[in-house]
Amino acid sequence: MTRNYKLIISYDGTRFYGWESQTTTDMTIQGKLQNVLSLMVGKEVKLIGAGRTDAGVHAKAMVANVNLDTEKTVEEIRDYMNQYLPEDISIQDVRIASERFHSRYNAIGKTYCYTCYIGEGKPIFDRKYVYTPPMAPDVELMRKAAQYLIGEHDFASFCAKAQKKKSTVRHVDKIEIVEDGDYLRLIYHGNGFLYNMVRILTGTLLEVGFGKRTPESMVELLEAKNRKLAGYTAPPQGLCLVKVDYD
C-alpha cells in the first residue's frame, strides 16, 4: 500500500553540494536520501523537501515527504535509512502523513539561525558551523538595522538570483540578534526566504555593525530592489535551518 510519509531530517552540510539532487554529482542531501529509499522499496522514488539549502548549509530539522509502497513500520523505515545513510545525515522521525501533505507547499514558516564566532583565537572545533567576522561588530547598531527589515517587504536586494516571474516579497516577523559568550546568533523567522536571502541579510547587518552602513540605510536598500547595493553574502557554514512550521 502506497502512503505519504513525513520525514524530519538533520544533516551536516559541510561536504555536500546543497539539498537539491543534481545530475552532475551524487553529493547532495536529497540525492543520498532518494538513493537509500529507492534501495529500500526496490524502485526509484522522489522525495520533496521543504526548502533547498545551499552547499555547506546545515539543518537540524528539515522536513520532507515521500510516497512509499512498503510494509515497513515508520520505526523500521527510520532505522533502515539511518543504517545506510552517511554519518552526516540522520533521520530524526518518520510519520505517516495525509495524502495531501506537501512539505514545501504546506509550510507556513521557517526558522534559520546564523552563528558568528566573535571570541578571541580560532574556533577549531566549531569551525564547520560558525563564521568568524573580520572584526567584532556593534551589536546594537545591528539590532536597530534589523528593525527596518521586519515585516512584509520586497527583498529583491537580498536575493542572489531573483527571477522576473517570481515574487520577491516575503514577510519576516523576527530577526533576533543574541550575544552568547563568544558567539553571536542571528535568528530569522518568516513565511519564506529567497535564494541566499538569510546569508545576504546577515552580511548586510554585519556591515552595519562594522560601521560601513547606517541602520537607516536598510530602508533605501529595500526600496532599491538591487542586489548590488546590499552587503556581502555571509559564508554558508554559519547557517542552519532550525525549524519548519505547519498548521
pLDDT attached to residue 163: 72
- The contacts of residue 222 (CB under 8 Å, 6+ apart) are 148, 149, 153, 154, 155, 157
Q: For residue 100, what are the CA distances in angstroms to 5, 96, 193?
A: 11, 11, 23
* The model's pTM: 0.95
Q: Judge if 62 and 116 occupy the same domain.
A: no
Of 97, 121, 154, which residue constitutes the final position of a domain? 97
Catalytic residue numbers, as ranges? 54
Q: Judge if 155 and 75 occupy the same domain.
A: no
Q: Judge if 143 and 240 occupy the same domain.
A: yes
Domain count, the chain: 2
C-alpha cell at 103: 512539505
Q: Does the residue 103 lie in any domain?
A: no
Q: Judge if 81 and 129 occupy the same domain.
A: no
Distance, CA of 83 to CA of 120 (rounded, Å): 39
Distance, CA of 11 to CA of 61 (rounded, Å): 8
What's 183's domain CATH number? 3.30.70.660
Q: Judge if 115 and 223 occupy the same domain.
A: yes
Q: Does the residue 104 lie in any domain?
A: no
Q: Domain residues for 43?
A: 2-97
Q: For residue 221, what are the CA distances in angstroms to 36, 153, 193?
A: 44, 11, 17
Of 46, 67, 97, which residue constitutes the final position of a domain? 97
Q: Judge if 57 and 114 occupy the same domain.
A: no
Q: Judge if 184 and 234 occupy the same domain.
A: yes
Q: Judge if 130 and 79 occupy the same domain.
A: no
Task: Per residue of the chain (247 residues), give pLDDT as tens.
Answer: 899 999 999 999 999 999 999 988 989 999 999 999 999 999 999 999 999 999 999 999 999 999 999 999 999 999 999 999 999 999 999 999 999 999 999 999 999 999 999 999 899 999 999 999 999 999 999 999 999 999 999 999 999 987 777 899 999 999 999 999 999 999 999 999 999 999 999 999 999 999 999 999 999 999 999 999 999 999 999 999 999 999 9
Q: Judge if 167 and 224 occupy the same domain.
A: yes
Q: Judge if 14 and 90 occupy the same domain.
A: yes
